[in-house]
Amino acid sequence: MIKLEIDKKAYDSIKNFSRLIYTKAIKNKEDLPKKEEIVVLTYKNRFVAKALYNPNSVIIKILTIKDEDIDYNFFYKRILEAKKYREDIIKYKNTYRWIYAEADFLPNIIFDKYNELGAMQLMSKLIEREYLKDIVDILFELSDLETIYIKSGKKGEKVKEKVFGDKSKKETIITEGEAKFIVNVKGHKTGFFLDQRENRLFLERFVKEGDRVLDVCCYTGGFSVHAALRGGYVVGVDLSKKALKVAEENMELNKIPKDSYEFIEGNAFEVMESFLNDNISFDTVILDPPAFAQSKKSLKNALKGYSSLNYLGLKLANRIFVTCSCSHHVDRELFKKTVFSSAFRAKKELILIDYKGQAYDHPITLANKNLEYLKCIFSYVRGQAER
Ligand SMILES: C[S@@+](CC[C@H](N)C(=O)[O-])C[C@H]1O[C@@H](n2cnc3c(N)ncnc32)[C@H](O)[C@@H]1O
């Protein structure tokens, strides 16, 4: 195994629980491998960690800080530990994000379990080639899973999509509080946005019978179903026709009367502007757009996008305003600032009810801020706030 000597800063950060270092910390750069490889990191020639190196990335991801073999037992321990956290500590059952990359010391692997159906986003060809078979065997062994789908991630190495186990299954029904959802692992990412679980449940306490609720970027109706279960009349908006079809099916699955909702296929900005022009407003508005900032470079444009979207959402909101951002590059403070300045522009006074984040099965470890991405602000729009 190639040994790479790291500088003191990187050594200290690994000692302080960081799960990644940058290639600039490597002293013997001439030894950096030409292909994806597991390397040994040393400091003053002493073992520090084993890590996953990819020449296409400036980030080196730590696999272990023990001098241990990376083999079946290694993955077994990690996967079991990740399961125990989800089931024994946070008490999630049947459906949860089982593996959240570095947070579980399993970089480049995301794995969601939906009852008997699993979906993995894998971003390493080396893991695919050398360890995927073991990882899949372990996941089956430790659970009631019947089928595991392997998908490529948005970033990183493109792996071959494949299915293990019962190939006939791609759909299941999960429960979230009183709500039921159809999850199709062929959908966006791993099929369902488990990261919003706690926020969708939290929404329920603010919806009253007969409220008009606008769910912008509703996907398969996550927030919509919870709002409808509390008696709200829901208008969901999304660009994806496919997602909206499932949203309708989810409403039916939850026995929501057909005259209690409508789904609009369209661009969020345009649909909201047309509501505004028609003097249509809502008791509750929820905004859950995709990540506008995919990189630091796109931050400026992303902020403009959040600013306009929130302005429109606030103009339409009469009582409760829920706004989310899943851009890692927009941190909590910056997002709050952006939302609040949109509120000033929209002339709406907000009371911050809560500032939430991602569900507990997407853990953020002490030194790994990169694992934090989802922000969700719940606020109360103070009555008659027009100035
Ligand atoms: C993060 S997901 C929403 C997840 C959803 N709230 C849930 O709980 O399952 C973002 C959604 O935004 C949709 N989307 C992306 N750009 C959009 C746009 N300009 N207008 C409307 N929807 C859009 C995507 O199709 C996707 O379904």
pLDDT grade, residue 366 (50/70/90)? confident
Backbone φ and ψ of 300, nearest 5°: -60, -50
**Residue 257 is assigned to a structural domain of this protein:** yes
- CB of 268 within 6 A of ligand 1: the answer is yes
Q: Among 260, 197, 247, 181, which Cα is nearest to 217's?
A: 247
User: 3-state SS of the chain: helix, strand, coil percent to 5?
Assistant: 35, 30, 35
177 in the same domain as 98: no
- Domain contains 40: yes
User: What residue owns the CA closest to ligand 1's atom 8?
Assistant: 222
pLDDT in tens, 351-365: 999 999 999 999 998
On whether both 212 and 284 belong to a single domain, the answer is: yes
How many residues does this entry show for the chain?
A: 387
- Top mutation candidate among 195, 238, 270 for ligand 1, by most atoms within 8 Å of CB: 238
Q: Whose CA is nearest to atom 13 of ligand 1?
A: 217
CATH number, residue 106: 3.30.750.80
Instruction: For ligand 1, atom 17, name the residue with the nearest CA.
Output: 239
Place of tokens 């000692």: 15
In three-state secondary structure terms, 216 is strand
Taking only the tens place, the pLDDT of each residue in 22-34 is 999 999 999 999 9
Task: Say how far apart CA 227 and CA 11 lie, in whole Å.
Answer: 49
In the reported structure, the alpha carbon of residue 290 is separated from the centroid of ligand 1 by a whole-number distance in angstroms of 6
Model pLDDT for residues 179-189, shown as the tens digit of each residue = 999 999 987 88
Confirm whether 273 is domain-assigned. Answer: yes
Residue 270 to residues 83, 163, 321, 357, Cα–Cα distance (Å): 43, 39, 19, 28
Probe residue for ligand 1, chosen from 112, 174, 216, 217 as the CB with the greatest number of ligand atoms within 8 Å: 217
Cα separation of 218 and 307, whole Å?
A: 19
Give the SS3 label for residue 223: helix
Residues 215 and 360 grouped into a single domain: yes
β-strands 95-100, 109-114: how paired?
A: antiparallel
Query: Does residue 376 share a domain with residue 265?
Result: yes
Distances (CA, A) of 119 to 101, 136, 180, 205, 274: 14, 11, 19, 31, 38
Q: Are residues 196 and 162 in the same domain?
A: no
For residues 80 and 147, membership in a common domain is answered with yes
Q: What is the mean pLDDT of residues 309-324?
A: 98
Asked if the model's pLDDT at residue 318 lies above 80, the reply is yes
Per DSSP, 86 falls in state: I
**Cβ of 217 less than 6 Å from ligand 1:** yes
Q: Are residues 91 and 111 in the same domain?
A: yes
- Pocket lining: 201 vs ligand 1, CB cutoff 6 Å: no
The model's pTM = 0.95
Q: Which two tokens stand for residue 375?
A: 């922000």
**Do residues 122 and 187 share a domain?**
no
Q: Hey, how many other C-beta atoms are within 10 angstroms of the C-beta on 89?
A: 10
The residue among 169, 199, 225 that closes a domain is: 169
* CATH assignment at residue 57: 2.30.130.10
Instruction: Work out how many domains the chain is built from and give that number.
Output: 3
Domain membership flag for residue 121: yes
Give the Å distances, CA to CA, from 379 to 21, 219, 224, 322, 376: 37, 22, 18, 6, 10
**Which residue's CA is the closest to the ligand 1 atom numbered 1?**
290
Last residue of a domain, one of 142, 169, 196: 169
Q: Which of 184, 219, 312 to mutate to test the pocket of ligand 1 (most atoms within 8 A of CB)?
A: 219
384 falls in which pLDDT band (50, 70, 90)? low
Same domain, 80 and 190: no
> Where does a domain end: 169, 196, 223?
169
Indicate the pLDDT class of residue 387, thresholds 50, 70 and 90: very low
Is 215 a member of any domain? yes
For 331-345, the pLDDT digits (tens) are 999 999 999 999 999
Q: Which atom number of ligand 1 is nearest to the Cα of residue 326? A: 1
Domain with residue 217: its CATH number is 3.40.50.150
Same domain, 286 and 158: no
Ligand 1 mean position, distance from CA 217 (Å): 3
Asked if residue 362 and residue 253 are part of one domain, the reply reads yes
Structural domain span for residue 76 = 72-169
At 9-24, the pLDDT tens digits run: 999 999 999 999 999 9
Q: What angle do CA 162, 53, 157 make, to 5 degrees?
A: 30
Residues 204 and 271 in one domain: yes
* Cβ of residue 211 lying under 6 Å from some atom of ligand 1: no
Q: Is 327's C-beta closer than 6 angstroms to any atom of ligand 1?
A: no
Q: How far is CA 20 from CA 6, 15, 69, 152, in A?
A: 12, 11, 19, 21
How confident is the model over 123-172, as pLDDT tens digits? 999 999 999 999 999 999 999 999 999 998 777 778 989 999 999 999 99
User: Within a domain: residue 387?
Assistant: no
Under 8 Å between Cβ of 70 and 64: yes
Give me the sheet containing 117-122, strands edge to edge.
95-100, 109-114, 117-122, 147-152, 162-165
